[in-house]
Amino acid sequence: MFADVVLPLPLSETFTYAVPASMQSALAIGCRVIVPFGKRKYYTAIVLKIHHDAPQSGVSLKDIHSLIDSVPLVNENQLKLWEWVSFYYLSPLGDVYKAAFPSKLRMESETMVSALVGHATDEKGLRPKEKQIIDLLNEHDLPVKISEIAVRLKIGNVLPTVYSLAEKGLVVIHESIQSKFAPKTETHIFLPKKLSPQSASHAIGKAKKQQLLYEQITGIFAASEADSFSRKEIMALTGASASVLNGLLQKNVLRQATVEIGRLGDGAARVTRAPHTLNEYQQQAFTEIIDCFNDRKPCLLHGVTSSGKTEIYIHLIKRLLEEGKQTLYLVPEIALTTQLTHRLQAVFGDKLAIYHSKINDQERAEIWKKMLSDHPYDIVIGVRSSLFLPFKRLGLIIVDEEHESSYKQTEPAPRYQARDTAVMLAHLTKAPILLGTATPSMESYFNAQTGKYGLVTLANRYEDISLPEIILENTKELRRKKKMKSLLSPALISYMDNALQEGGQVILFRNRRGFAPMVECQLCGWTPKCRRCDVSLTYHKSRNELVCHYCGTTYKMVTECPECHQPSIEPVGMGTEQVEEEVARLFPEVSIARMDADTTRGKNAYENILSDFQQKKTRILIGTQMLSKGLDFDDVSVVGIISADSLLNYPDFRSHERGFQLMMQASGRAGRKNKRGKVIIQSNDPEQPLYRYLTDNDYEGFFRQQAAERKLFNYPPYSRLIRIVIKDKDEQKAEVEARAFAGLLRPSLHERLLGPSKPAVAKIQLYHIREILLKLEIGLSPQKIRKLIKKSEQRMRANPEFKYMRVYYDVDPL
């Protein structure tokens, strides 16, 4: 008996091992095994296939060293998905395995191990090698790397022995030191048991805000069986300010205490409400979605911002839950805010798991194991990689904000598009899939137009709140008339002023962080560039530093030009920092916050900025596109887009699609509850047709215009792109390799192949880059083209000169 396995190495091949007789009855597809590979190295591999095809005579296969699992950790649909991702995105299967499977469940030589306290080598039944390892570990307080154990003890196959020790509960395996268990705590609010409503109301007295909050809180407790709620939850559910809540605590009508919570947040989330009743439009959309599912087609839900798409998702999930099915709810990383998770937790409580990129390896492994248990999570809300979790009875996939570019993984491999992979997962598992957005991607809308996807439209905002009024400000004209005395146009300033006077809030967008995108010598034009990348440095005034936004390297700000030795260096252009400075000058009395990659580094920074704004502690929020994603604020009456042209003027066929989506989403933040909001767009070129579609709220019109252009130039969705990227520290070498590779491919591809060319940023982190672009017609066989590419790569590598060529493929690049 033989088994094909995948190894956690960047290799495309699977490897065949002989299955020892003792293992044959227990071995199953999807189990972990330990196999020797290379010189004295052992790896955790996953079994993909079990068969009886003996190798050619003369080839001798190694044995599987040991079988770890009695029950598979990966199911067959998952393995099929791995294979598809590897095939379609031209990514080594080993890389897919590494990305998809929790590293904690996969020991490698870098894995850290430590002995559990209290176990000595006098343990009975230990083999000599096991004893040796325990002795070594006991000498150290800190965990030791498996590779180090191997070196110290001069034994090769440490991995299997460590596994068996772990199984016996004698050692702990850590991915990193900080993932050691530490209990996690949270501040909770309780209702004192013996307090009567009368004495509570007596204690609160005349404090109006406190009365109101107390009523809200008792309401929440009454609607649930929980005896406590986290302080965070209470604040989010009630929108209360800390001071009002603290007032109630001081009067002893509420109690606060620190409680220990489970690592996965079990028990922290409680059901507090039933789903809202859908209105007639939502109900209609719901019915159409179900019809579409019955047709076995992916369904695109095109619903304007605030139309209540999330409410519809909640109803769909609930329905599936009643059928005993699981839901995967995919969101772009940035949308994983407390807002959305609290909304879902309020309805589904601890049936919900949250899977984002900040959870550690330990939690990742725990969620995986829980999904395999008899009581898996019913709902997983997660980012891209949650696609790879072991669902047992997946019944629905929702891809929220399907147009978001962060669904595409760009680095490292596998460079997959999670939305499209979700469509594949739906196909494999026969689960229906819903893609939802206010601004569909060109690809998805095209698929809906051609009948590949079903289309459901929701044109009304919930409660028919009007869409905002969009006002275009011609900044070029204003400048000519000398009316632009600030970064903000006079009209924007006056709308802001009005809004603030009426107690409203303002959001300003600028898609560049830092103070100025670059600095320049006013005399000779010299600009500082990154030493590792071919890009100008961004000036960060608050830190007085120049920063490379590609590699993060920081440099001291220069004041004197190194070329002409004059103190003539000045910032050019503006970023969020500068907008903030300007707004502070214009509205000195108003509290302002800034949200961009620089201000959201800390663990809770992002959430704190949002909750301060939510609670109106800050009145003006300035930020990058981070701000445009699925956030709900009740009192934002003005949204300003400071420099709209910069969204459209970069050399990419998608720039208008992106700009349109961003501005439309940004507008969606205005006037959600009370009255009609205003969106002010500042542009030097307001004649662009895109702005007309935007002011008319005409997505269809925009789509048709874009589609015509894409068709003319043969861009997606009318073709498919594959970008071949070649890099080398030696520029000449990158150039030669790219030309040789293109030369091999061109005879089969002809004019479908463009390049090789130097990309706009031609050097990143010391590597020079060359690109070859393949523009492939839709009808072309994906199998054939991938075979051609792989064969050509092999032919390249057969040449000793190109053996170590660094190349990767970016399929459907963004």
Question: Which stretches of the chain bind ligand ADP, using CB under 6 A?
Answer: 276-279, 282, 303, 305-311, 462, 632
- Binding site partner of 551, from ligand ADP, Zn ion, none, Cβ cut-off 5-8 A by kind: Zn ion
> Which of ligand ADP, Zn ion, none has residue 120 at its interface (CB below 5 to 8 Å by kind)?
none
CA–CA gap between residue 19 and residue 31 (Å, rounded): 13
Residue 303, contacted partner among ligand ADP, Zn ion, none, CB below 5-8 A by kind: ligand ADP
| Residue 365 near residue 102 (C-beta atoms within 8 A) | yes
Find the shortest distance in angstroms from Cβ 538 to Zn ion: 11
Task: Compute the least distance from the CB of residue 328 to ligand ADP, in Å.
Answer: 18
From the CB of 629, what's the least distance to ligand ADP, in Å? 11
Q: Can residue 555 be called a binding residue for Zn ion (CB under 5 A)?
A: no
572 binds Zn ion (CB under 5 A): no
Size of site (CB under 5 A) for Zn ion: 14
Q: Count of CB atoms within 10 A of residue 760's CB?
A: 11
Between residues 312 and 530, which has the closer beta carbon with respect to Zn ion?
A: 530
Does residue 550 interact with Zn ion by CB under 5 A? Answer: yes
276 binds, among ligand ADP, Zn ion, none (CB under 5 to 8 A by kind): ligand ADP
* Shortest distance (Å) from residue 717 CB to ligand ADP: 24
From Zn ion, ligand ADP, none, which one binds at residue 531 (CB under 5 to 8 Å depending on kind)?
none
- Does the footprint of Zn ion cover residue 616 (CB under 5 A)? no
Give the whole-angstrom CA distance, residue 532 versus residue 547. 12
Specify burial of residue 712 (Cβ count, 10 A radius: 0-12, 13-18, 19+).
exposed
Separation of first and last alpha carbons in the chain: 45
In angstroms, the CA 170 to CA 117 distance is: 9
Work out the number of other CB atoms within 10 angstroms of the CB of residue 338.
18
Strand order in the sheet with 228-230: 228-230, 184-190, 255-261
Structure tokens at 257: 């205490």
**Cβ proximity to ligand ADP, 132 vs 460, nearer residue:** 460
One residue of 551, 736, 744, 814 binding Zn ion per CB under 5 A? 551
Q: Which stretch binds Zn ion (CB under 5 A): 436-444, 493-501, 559-567, 646-654?
A: 559-567
Which CB sits closer to ligand ADP, 132 or 665? 665
Report in angstroms how near the CB of residue 282 gets to ligand ADP at its nearest. Answer: 6
Query: Measured between alpha carbons, how far is 43 from 22 in angstroms, rounded to an integer?
Result: 20
Taking the least distance from each CB to Zn ion, the nearer of 262 and 552 is: 552
Output 253 or 335, the one with its CB closest to ligand ADP: 335
Q: Does 761 bind Zn ion (CB under 5 A)?
A: no
Residue for token digits 């048709």? 704
Please tell me whether residue 748 adopts helix, strand or coil conformation: helix
**Contact (CB, 8 A) for 801 and 730:** no
Torsion sign, CA atoms 762, 767, 773, 779: negative
233: Cβ contacts below 8 Å, ≥ 6 apart: 268, 269, 342, 345
Q: What share of the chain is helix, strand, coil (3-state, %, to 5)?
A: 40, 20, 40
CB-nearer residue toward ligand ADP: 292 or 774: 292
Nearer to Zn ion (CB atom), residue 23 or residue 569: 569
Task: Compute the half-sphere exposure of residue 141: CA atoms within 13 Å on the CB side of its CA.
Answer: 0
Q: How far is the CB of 738 from Zn ion (least distance, A)?
A: 22
307 binds, among Zn ion, ligand ADP, none (CB under 5 to 8 A by kind): ligand ADP
Least distance from C-beta 803 to ligand ADP, angstroms? 52
Binds 564, which of Zn ion, ligand ADP, none (CB < 5 to 8 A, cut-off by type)?
Answer: Zn ion
Tokens of 291: 């019809």
Tell the residue number behind the tokens 């303002």, with chain if given.
Answer: 506
Shortest reach from residue 512's CB to ligand ADP, in Å: 27
Structural contact between residues 796 and 741, judged by C-beta atoms closer than 8 angstroms: yes
Give the integer Cα–Cα distance in Å for 543 and 530.
Answer: 17
Strands 255-261 and 184-190, how do they pair? antiparallel
Rank residues 94 and 382 by Cβ distance to ligand ADP and give the closer one. Answer: 382
What is the x/- site pattern for Zn ion, positions 529-548, by CB under 5 A?
Answer: -x-xx--------------x
Summarize as ranges the residues that interact with Zn ion (CB under 5 A): 521, 523-524, 526, 530, 532-533, 548, 550-551, 553, 561, 563-564
